[in-house]
């Protein structure tokens, strides 16, 4: 399973598809659809308390499955969050926590990858898509990738049979290639209209489901919306109570409804795990809501890392559940491996846990006892049970996604009683702070911190000469 360390010079030859599993095994393994919204907040769905957005399809999905209230992604910005989803690891573990490229200039020190970067998710990493493909699943990524736009890092080189989408954020227009819509490894439209993205992705998702209804499939559907610049198709534009953000949100709900309808129409409803979540919290200045949480995208307050998550699998995951246990996006890889009989890699650390027992109400306590909030190079906060501790920062990270914790400030919150992170209890509970300090020492040895490397991190993929013309339309 180990593909070897491919860092500087990478073989760009096509990947061979494995054969499909035996009939008996095939019948027992569910399909999986993983929907990943962009910059979408904890408080943006009606089933999470939003009073402006009409989201009946996603709300119905929550009624028919399990809704998480303590679900975390591994970063509050795009690229590192997606790296964690694909690998089941903290972004720092796989060196995707910061883009340290010397070029392009504007990307220095930023957390997200920019077009024509030297860097990407290392092809030696074993992605969730590769695990599915090795088991005979058809695999597709339809939407935003953002883990490297050069050939060695594209979805088609990371376990996906098919790719259709934008290789990075929808605000990253460039003169040499205005916003490119790709199919597999070619640009087919440039620029693509922002108002068409949700509709295009939905139609391609439906096509993929229908084409693969007689075999197992894994569909990763990472929408570009609701990332700025916001847009929606004419059928939804101007129809919501919350401007263009609400329009985009309600079109995403329509999209979810179309996907679920297709599963029903094709007789796949009870045989498909469907997951709905987002890469990080919302940016309120564009219309999103993280309420009642404090903070926003790019921060280490809850509003940056804690996001909505709904999982539906009729007949297997009991309906009308609300789960308050800590679950993370890193748990998807081992949990889906359990359900789909995938072979987990044994030669590397995986930070996620199998939480099938919690989803099925067979277990009540999360295996995640500690959660670490890394932002760029720095460990900035730790959650331990009900407690969340913000470290006193000696050096504030500079950039557009800075933490909104001031240097020198130490804080401790009881999230069970204070999810808004309003009452600092650090002086009142010094013994809790001391206990968390031990956890901090442990993770610093493991994954490092601001000014030193950890013992158990793996390199990102690096190429010597990125190629701008890759994204030219043919």
Query: DSSP of 167-209, one letter per residue?
Result: SS-TT--BTTBSS-EEETTEEEESSPPGGGHHHHHHHHHHHHH
Q: Which residues of 142-153 are buried (b: 16+ CB within 10 A; e: fewer)?
A: bbbbbbbbbbbb
My answer on whether 386 and 342 are in the same domain is no
Answer for the pair 269, 313: CB distance below 8 angstroms, yes or no: no
Evaluate whether residue 241 is within a structural domain. yes
Q: Decide which of 338, 369, 400 is a domain's last residue.
A: 369
What are the E-state strand segments in 26-172?
A: 31-37, 66-68, 71-72, 119-120, 138-142, 162-165
List of long-range contacts for 289-292, beta carbons under 8 Å, 24+ apart: 289/41, 289/42, 289/43, 289/44, 289/50, 290/41, 290/42, 290/43, 291/41, 291/42, 291/43, 291/49, 292/43, 292/49, 292/419, 292/420
* CA-CA-CA-CA dihedral for 181, 185, 186, 191, to nearest 10: 20
My answer on whether 250 and 387 are in the same domain is no
The pLDDT, as a whole number, for residue 177 is 77
The pLDDT, as a whole number, for residue 471 is 61
My answer on whether 282 and 430 are in the same domain is no
Backbone φ and ψ of 362, nearest 5° = -95, -20
Cis peptide leading into 229, omega within 30 of 0? yes
Supply 47's token pair: 């089933």
Please state, in angstroms and rounded to a whole number, the distance separating the CA atoms of residues 204 and 200: 6
Evaluate whether residue 461 is within a structural domain. no
The CATH code of the domain that includes 76 is 3.40.720.10
Strand 71-72 relative to strand 321-323, pairing:
unpaired
My answer on whether 257 and 280 are in the same domain is yes
The pLDDT, as a whole number, for residue 100 is 54
My answer on whether 65 and 197 are in the same domain is yes
pTM above 0.75, yes or no: yes
The pLDDT, as a whole number, for residue 108 is 52
User: Alpha-carbon torsion 134, 78, 149, 199, what sign?
Assistant: positive
Non-local CB neighbours of 383 within 8 Å, separated by 6+ positions: 326, 370, 371, 373, 389, 415
Evaluate whether residue 327 is within a structural domain. yes
Non-local CB neighbours of 403 within 8 Å, separated by 6+ positions: 299, 300, 375, 380, 393, 396, 397
Evaluate whether residue 210 is within a structural domain. yes
Evaluate whether residue 136 is within a structural domain. yes
Q: Decide which of 369, 395, 426 is a domain's last residue.
A: 369
Q: How many domains are there within the chain? A: 2
Evaluate whether residue 17 is within a structural domain. no
Supply 41's token pair: 């907040």
My answer on whether 256 and 400 are in the same domain is no
Q: Decide which of 341, 369, 397 is a domain's last residue.
A: 369
Residue 399 structural domain: 370-453
Evaluate whether residue 1 is within a structural domain. no
The pLDDT, as a whole number, for residue 174 is 80
Please state, in angstroms and rounded to a whole number, the distance separating the CA atoms of residues 372 and 442: 11
My answer on whether 105 and 70 are in the same domain is yes
SS3 of 139, please? strand
My answer on whether 166 and 308 are in the same domain is yes
Distances from the Cα of 375 to the Cα of 115, 247, 351, 404, angstroms: 21, 31, 17, 11
The pLDDT, as a whole number, for residue 248 is 98
Bridge partner residues of 390 (DSSP): 381, 411
SS3 of 464, please? coil
My answer on whether 380 and 315 are in the same domain is no
My answer on whether 348 and 264 are in the same domain is yes
Evaluate whether residue 14 is within a structural domain. no
Identify the segments of the chain with pLDDT beneath 50: 1-27, 102-107, 398-403
Supply 26's token pair: 């095939």
My answer on whether 78 and 206 are in the same domain is yes
Location of structure tokens 């970063």: 75
The CATH code of the domain that includes 395 is 3.30.1120.10
Bridge partner residues of 448 (DSSP): 453
My answer on whether 276 and 157 are in the same domain is yes
């Amino acid at each position: 399973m180990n593909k070897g360390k491919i860092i500087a010079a990478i073989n760009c030859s096509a990947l061979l598809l494995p054969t499909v599993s035996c009939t008996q095994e095939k019948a027992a393994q569910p399909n999986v659809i993983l929907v990943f919204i962009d910059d979408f907040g904890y408080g943006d769905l009606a089933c999470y308390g939003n009073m402006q957005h009409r989201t009946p399809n996603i709300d119905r999905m929550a009624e028919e499955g399990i809704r998480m209230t303590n679900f975390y992604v591994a970063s509050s910005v795009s690229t590192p969050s997606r790296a964690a989803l694909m690998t089941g690891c903290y972004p720092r573990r796989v060196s995707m926590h910061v883009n340290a490229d010397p070029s392009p200039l504007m990307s220095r020190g930023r957390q997200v990858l920019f077009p024509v970067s030297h860097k990407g998710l290392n092809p030696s990493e074993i992605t969730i898509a590769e695990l599915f493909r090795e088991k005979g699943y058809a695999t597709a990524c339809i939407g935003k990738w953002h883990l490297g736009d050069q050939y060695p890092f594209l979805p088609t080189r990371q376990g996906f049979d098919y790719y259709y989408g934008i290789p990075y954020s929808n605000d990253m227009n460039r003169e040499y290639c205005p916003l490119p819509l790709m199919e597999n490894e070619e640009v087919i439209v440039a620029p693509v209209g922002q108002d068409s993205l949700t509709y295009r992705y939905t139609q391609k998702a439906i096509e993929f489901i229908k084409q693969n209804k007689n075999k197992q499939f894994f569909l990763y559907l990472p929408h570009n919306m609701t990332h700025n610049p916001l847009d929606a198709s004419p059928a939804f534009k101007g129809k919501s109570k919350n401007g263009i953000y609400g329009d985009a949100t309600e079109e995403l709900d329509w999209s979810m409804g179309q996907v679920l309808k297709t599963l029903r129409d094709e007789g796949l409803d009870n045989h498909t795990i469907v997951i709905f979540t987002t890469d990080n919290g919302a940016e309120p200045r564009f219309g999103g809501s993280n309420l009642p949480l404090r903070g926003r995208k790019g921060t280490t307050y809850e509003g940056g890392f804690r996001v909505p998550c709904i999982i539906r699998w009729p007949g297997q995951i009991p309906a009308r559940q609300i789960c308050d246990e800590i679950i993370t996006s890193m748990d998807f890889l081992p949990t889906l491996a359990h359900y789909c009989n995938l072979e987990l890699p044994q030669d590397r650390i995986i930070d996620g846990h199998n939480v099938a027992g919690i989803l099925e109400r067979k277990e009540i306590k999360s295996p995640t006892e500690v959660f670490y909030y890394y932002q760029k190079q720095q460990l900035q906060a730790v959650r331990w049970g009900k407690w969340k501790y913000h470290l006193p920062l000696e050096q504030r990270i500079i950039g557009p996604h800075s933490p909104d914790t001031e240097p020198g400030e130490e804080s401790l919150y009881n999230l069970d009683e204070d999810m808004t992170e309003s009452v600092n209890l650090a002086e009142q509970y010094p013994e809790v702070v001391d206990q968390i300090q031990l956890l901090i020492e442990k993770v610093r040895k493991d994954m490092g911190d601001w000014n030193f490397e950890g013992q158990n991190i793996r390199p990102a993929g690096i190429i010597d000469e990125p190629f701008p013309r890759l994204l030219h339309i043919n």
